[in-house]
Amino acid sequence: MVYSIIKWILRAWPFLVPAMIVLLHQYTSTLPCHFQWMCWSNQTIDKYLSFGLNISGGLLVIYSIDSNLGLFKKGNLLTLLKNWMKSFPMIKGEPLIIAAQPCHSVSTAIPGRIELTKPPESIEELYRYTQEQISLLRKDLKNERRNRDEVLNKITNEWSTKHSLLNKSISEINEQLKSVAIGGVKLQVLGVLLVTYGSYVGLSA
């Protein structure tokens, strides 16, 4: 139970860290100076603390934005800067090379079957001829059913593969959104709070 409470409290670390900095700053500003060579005036301490908090807060916000760009666009602020510099109108682009690819033609032919038979001359030959045609018809129907089943199985397997990839993509997007909503926002909140307190300390210095 105690561990759960501590874990719940630590989830508010974007607010706890600035609160600890504020308390530590206010406490140290009232301490007496025991070593003369280490004594700084409160004004000097506030000036350096304001500078450090502003820089730290700004870097945290930039890092959060950079991480979010990396999640969705597979890049970062440095990549955006390079692309912006490369798009300068005075810079000539690389020559466009058009390569012709050979054209391939594929044709398919449906196999046919030719049966050379002579006209039946008797009842027995007519019966045997009829039985052969029925057997050929059954064989054709069986081959057609097998081909149809193969096509259906192939389509089903392709659909299952695409469905699995789609579910995987959705899960990755959900994880990315969760990471941005939780981690990115918390870093930005921490950065803004540090900048705010740093600005306050700088004004009061």
What pLDDT digit, counting tens, does each position of 13-30 carry?
Answer: 888 998 999 998 888 877
CA-nearest of 46, 61, 88, 69 to 202 is 46
Looking up tokens 């100076």, which residue turns up?
A: 33
Quote the pTM value. 0.49
CA-nearest of 194, 173, 170, 171 to 63 is 194
CA-nearest of 195, 201, 204, 161 to 25 is 201
What pLDDT digit, counting tens, does each position of 70-117 carry?
Answer: 655 555 666 666 776 777 676 655 555 555 555 554 444 444 454 555
Which whole-number Å values give the CA distances from 186 to 57, 117, 161, 179, in the listed order? 12, 86, 37, 10
Distance CA(205)–CA(202), nearest Å, equals: 5
The ranges assigned to domains in the chain are 2-83+120-204
Phi-psi region of 108 (alpha: psi -120 to 50; beta: other; left: phi over 0): beta
